[in-house]
Amino acid sequence: MSREEEIRQELFDHTLNGHAPEVKALTEEGLKLGMDPMDILFKALIPSLEEVGRRFEKGDFFVPEMLIAARAMQGALVILRPLIGEPIFRSWPSRPTRFSNRAAFGWIETPAPISLRTSACSNTVTSRHLARSASAAVRPPIPPPTIAMSAL
């Protein structure tokens, strides 16, 4: 196993376990050895966070472990970002956009289906329930949903 492969494996392991100082030191060492910054990012750091996500989905990791791993990777990104260039980081939230101070709220209004209009939580049939069911036959058709948007 070459030293570059060892560095990749150690970056994976230390990022997974949230050891930020080791991740930063290994990133610097890898760059001194001439490793490609994209190789460090896509073959060690990102797979490590994907593993963190898999472990979170299985219930082995919780939110604190995810945040610790992300912080460990952030130390490496501080070093790698100037070397990789800006295009890969364009969609990251830390970069301000011209819409950063705006918000939009929207909702869809639609009448509830007949089964939800009645007392769906009741297991017994009541006279009120029967009256609603009987009146459903004479109700007009349900109108299509309306969409309302509001922008700040």
Which domains can be identified in the chain, with CATH numbers?
3-89 (1.10.1240.10)
Q: Specify the higher pLDDT residue, 1 or 81.
A: 81
- HEC profile for the chain? CCHHHHHHHHHHHHHHHCCHHHHHHHHHHHHHCCCCHHHHHHHHHHHHHHHHHHHHHHCCCCHHHHHHHHHHHHHHHHHHHHHHCCHHHCCCCCCCCCCCCCCEEEEEECCCCHHHHCCCCCCCCCHHHHHHHHHHCCCCCCCCCEEEEEEC
Mean pLDDT of the chain: 75
Predicted pLDDT at 126: 47
**pLDDT (tens digit, 9 = 90+) per residue, 35-64?**
999 999 999 999 999 999 999 999 999 999
**pLDDT (tens digit, 9 = 90+) per residue, 62-114?**
999 999 999 999 999 999 988 887 555 454 455 444 544 555 555 555 555 55
- 6 has a pLDDT exceeding 90: yes
- 117 has a pLDDT exceeding 80: no
Q: Specify the higher pLDDT residue, 83 or 138.
A: 83
State the pTM of this model: 0.56
Which has the minimum average pLDDT: 18-22, 71-75, 79-83, 147-151? 147-151
- 135 has a pLDDT exceeding 60: no
